[in-house]
Each structure stands twice: as structure tokens, then as C-alpha cells.
Structure 1
């Protein structure tokens, strides 16, 4: 069974002093899960923020993701060791394949074997995938076994509810981590979300984050503003009614915001 915290702080697009301040504020407010990636270029800054925070490593859940250039059997573990050095830690709690290898340049079996080796070496506690379709998840399960795949981190928000992927993951006891849960802020302007927020004396962000967590998804919203980090945390105390959940379910329009050319698989 996976052990993925339902609520954490994302760091995509945050670098330098901006990410240091964001992570410091998050940890100070009580966040204990931090999500990063090799390609974000901020692992060293996060390592500094964590070191300066005084929060014991044992209380933290740190996730990083292996970039496509490092997915080979011989390249993954050395690249992860470099990530650990930047993060100033002996291990991370979760390592993900960030994107499937473009044009299958590195066979998935090789990358998963390297991830399992990293786990055996104690460099990570859990392994998983990101941006995987149902077909890719089926391949990963066939190669490594569903029990080895802790999560699939995917774009998922009210406008892209990714139900086929989520249903497959649920059937195999693989956690879904939702990234871009607020859809770059687009869903915060939605009238349906706004009405629920007003009725609940909550913010639209709290409503959307609560919706995702109520479906069992982990969320990793980021913010450079302490007040937003603090406000987002309160989503954990918000419980939506079946009717409100249904209203948000009806907002799905398959609106994907992230599909980088050369990286994106054939989406479901």
C-alpha cells in the first residue's frame, strides 16, 4: 500500500530566493510534503530551505522526479545521487519517472529496474510515475507489479478530470497525485466553484483542493505568497456535499493545459 500524503507544497516554476521563501513559509505553516523535480532546477534551493527550517528530516516527505535524459539503467541512480546531494538528504521519500521516455528511447523496463535498484539501495522509500496514460500504467504494472507503483502524478483539475487514468489507478491501488489542481487559476474564476465557495465561506482554491482530496487524490499546490499557502491548508478541513461534488464533476471539459511537444504521450 502506498503512503502518499494528501497535501503538499509544489515548487514548479519557482527558483532561487522565491522557492526558498515559499518552502520556508510552507514548512513554518505546517506543510510536511514538498514536491520537486530535476528539471525544475531548484533542488539545491529546496535543500537549503529545508536545512534552514529546522524541521527534522524524519517529519518530511520529499518527492523528486527523474528527467528524461536520466532514465537509462546506468544513468538513473547516479542522477538521483546528484539530486540527493542538492537536496542535502540521504534519501527521498518518493522518486517518479517525470515523463515517459520520448519515442521510447529508453525502454520502460530499464527505467523501472533502475528505480527499483534505487529503492533497494535506500536512496528512495517509494517509486512511481508521472504523466502516464492508462496504456503506460498497464505496462508499468506488468513490468514492476502494481504494488511497486506508489502514484501516478498527472494533470488533473475540474476542467480535466482524467477519469480513465484515475479509475485504472484506483483499481490497482495506485495513488493519483493531481498537479495543476487549480488549472493555473482558471477554475478559480468558475461561477460554479465561486457559488460553492460563497456558500461555504471558503475560497475557490479551498473548494477545488477539497474536491480533489475528497476523491482521494493528493494535491501539491504552490504559491509564492504566505497567505495563500496558509489559506490552501484549510482545504483539509472542508467537506463538500454529494451535490457539490456532482456540480464540480459536471465541469469536466477535457481541457488539457500541459502537453509539451516531444514529451507528451498519446493522451487517453
Structure 2
């Protein structure tokens, strides 16, 4: 699995398994299947309600802890200095781990909340209980607010990115700050599967539509988190390193941009 280096020197697999809305037996089986087939990067969050099952699958996989990259996230209602530390401890216990590889502020909820939460996360980072810290669903202005008081720069900004919402401007800014972009919903929550243009490209390369969508993002240096509970798709999603998109493919794929969001705009998040 291809890996990239974050601004703190830690490597992360460029493909991870997303677990949004996956619960109980489904998420356990998905994580176990992924780890058994070579995935080493798993993404979850407190609000997903599946940290216990994710942790159980990690333990049962038998994969050495040092080979894994595990992400979880701080929910909005837990933001703040003391509450962040408690929320992190709760997630750590649910996952059954001694440390988390990446801990993210899940959504921007104002400059003060972000600053207080980040201070707590920096302290946990210094103790080694978190190996990397970052943000999720942060626009440029949100990152700028955070950096006013941050001592440690985020390593990652996890946001909605797909062919319809390529986030070129956000990527340009984040790259200028040495922050990697990480894509959730990289296949538009399944919205690309009926796209005839992408289907033709997939047929040309003897690949799936999902492979094309993921390859397009990975070629831009974006970490991707395809979510699935189906074994066939989990296995297939990582098979993107044995072909190349040509110039004509790129032109067609870039034309898929329509600016449509599937999830809330971080500037207008009401929860």
C-alpha cells in the first residue's frame, strides 16, 4: 500500500477504510476483512457509535499495532479543553488501544472552541497518546483561526472531496501550509456509479468506476477513505496502483465538477 509522509514525519497509508454509519456486525466484518486483505488504515469517530466494534476487529485481526494507522475524531458537543481530554480518553478505551495515530476535531464550532480543543490535543500529542493531530471539515478561514493560537500545525484536513467537489482551492491552501487533504465520500456516496463517462474510462482500463474515482484523487496526493461493508468492494478499492490515467481521462474527469455537496458546508454547520 502506497504511503505518504505527514508534516510531523509520520507515514500514513494513502487508502484507508471509512466506517461512517457502519454499525455492530457490519463494521466488525468490514474492518476485519480490510485488515486481513492488507489495509492498515482505519478511520472512525465517536459520533459513528462503532469504536468498540472497530477496536474488537483490530484486536482480532492480529495485525501488530505498530503496522496500523487508526483515526478517530472529537465530536462537536465535546469540544473544549477539559471535555476534549475526557472524550479522547473515552475513545481510547472504546477502541482498546494505548494510543491513537490521528485525532481530529470533527467540525469547526468557533474560534474559541477550536483553540481550547487544540490546546488539549497538543498536550495529548506531547505525551505520545496521540501520534498526529488534525482537523476535519475545516475551510481556509477555519484553519487560519486555529493557527492564531496553535503551537502545532495540523497534519491533515479531512473533508468531503470527490469528482463533483474536487476542492482545488482548499488543496492549494493546505499544501502551502504543509497540511494533507484527506477525502471522505470519495465516490460521492455511490453517486458516480451511474456515470457513463466514468464507466467508459473504467472499461478502457479494465477497472471499476470506484477505481477510477479513487485513482483521480490519489494521483493528486489526496488520502482517500472509501467506505463499504461489502467484502468485494473493500478488496477492489485498493487495486488502483497498477494503471495510469491518461491526459484524455483527466480532461473528462475534471469536467465532472459541479460543486454539489452531499454533506453540510462547514461554514453553515448547525449541529
Same fold (TM over 0.5): yes
What TM-score do you get using the length of structure 1 for normalisation?
0.93
Where does the alignment leave 5 or more consecutive residues of structure 1 unmatched? none
Task: Report how far residue 247 of structure 1 moved.
Answer: 1.8
Asked if the contact 1:4/1:175 (under 8 Å) is kept, the reply is no
Is 2:58 aligned against 1:50? yes
> Root-mean-square deviation (CA), in Å?
1.6
Q: Conserved in 1, the CA contact under 8 Å of 2:17 and 2:42?
A: yes
2:102 counterpart SS class: strand
Paired residue secondary structure (1:58)? helix
- Within the alignment, does 1:112 sit opposite 2:118 as a pair? yes
2: CA distance, partners of 1:107 / 1:225: 37
Q: How many pairs were matched up?
A: 261
User: Within 2, Cα distance between the matches of 1:197 and 1:32?
Assistant: 26
For residues 23-38 of structure 1, what are the structure 2 equivalents within 5 Å?
23-38=31-46
1:265 counterpart = 2:267: yes
Q: Residues 212-243 of structure 1, C-alpha deviation per residue, up to 9 Å, x if partnerless?
A: 10011000111111111111110233321233
Partner SS state of residue 81, structure 2: coil
Q: Give the direction of change, closer, same or farther, for the CA distance of 1:188–1:55 in structure 2 (3 Å limit).
A: same
Out of 84-93 and 136-145, give the one that drifted further: 136-145
CA distance in 1, matches of 2:268, 2:149: 20
Cα distance in 2 for residues equivalent to 1:176 and 1:17: 30
Looking at structure 1, the residues matched to 120 and 243 of structure 2 have their Cα atoms a distance apart, in angstroms, of 40
CA distance in 2, matches of 1:235, 1:100: 33
Distance 2:111 2:177 in 1: 27
* Alignment counterpart, residue 128 of structure 1, candidates 117, 129, 134: 134
Instruction: Give 2:70's aligned residue.
Output: 62
Structure 2 gaps of 5+ residues are 1-6
Cα deviation, residue 266, structure 1:
4.3
1:162 — aligned with what?
167
- 1:164 is displaced (CA, Å) by 1.6
- The 5 Å alignment of 1:1-268 reads 1-2=7-8, 3-101=11-109, 104=110, 106-144=112-150, 148-259=153-264, 264-266=266-268
- For residue 53 of structure 2, give the secondary structure of its aligned residue in structure 1: helix
1:8-51 Cα deviation digits (max 9, x unpaired): 10100101011000000000110000000000000000110011
Classify the secondary structure of the residue corresponding to 1:154. Answer: strand
CA drift at 1:140: 2.3
Cα displacement (A) at 1:105: 8.0
Native 8 Å contact 1:81 1:123 kept in 2:
no
- Rounded to whole Å, the distance in 1 between the matches of 2:39 and 2:211 is 15
Aligned-partner SS, 1:18: helix
Cα offset, 1:77, TM superposition: 1.2
CA drift at 1:120: 1.2
Structure 1 residues 227-236 or 19-28, which shifts more? 227-236
User: Quick one: distance in 2 between partners of 1:106 and 1:171?
Assistant: 24
**Greater helix share, 1 or 2?**
1
